[in-house]
Amino acid sequence: MHKYCYIFWTAKDQEEAKKIVKELLDKKWIACASIFPEVTSLFLWKGKMEEEKEAKVLLKTFSKNFTKICSWIEKRASYEVSEILQVPIQEGSSGYLAWIDEMLEV
């Protein structure tokens, strides 16, 4: 298993994203989050094509934190089914990865 990962999450809006990201930072479960405040998502839901403005969130953390982060988001986010995806980081700049270690190794 890779030590580091990105977690992609789609929030209802920027306010929801910021609220949950701040909680995750306070818990030191993530080192950083990037919030793309408005993306247009087209998707199939309950047999119909939908189009929504949403916020896309990119979390940077340890892979071992994925399960608890996923559960935390699912309990607090607005969506019935939240998009929460883990993508392993195979390599990265040594300085950035060291910074993640420093932020999360408590």
Return d(Cα 2, Cα 19) in angstroms, integer.
28
Taking the CB of residue 93, how many other CB atoms lie within 10 A of it? 8
Spell out the domains of the chain, with CATH numbers in brackets: 4-104 (3.30.70.120)
What pLDDT was estimated at residue 106? 56
Q: What are the residues whose beta carbons fall under 8 Å from the beta carbon of 49, sequence distance 6 or more?
A: 42, 43
Q: How far apart are CA 35 and CA 56, in angstroms?
A: 6
DSSP state of 90: -
Q: How confident is the model at residue 20 (pLDDT cuts 50, 70, 90)?
A: very high
pLDDT of 1 strictly over 90: no
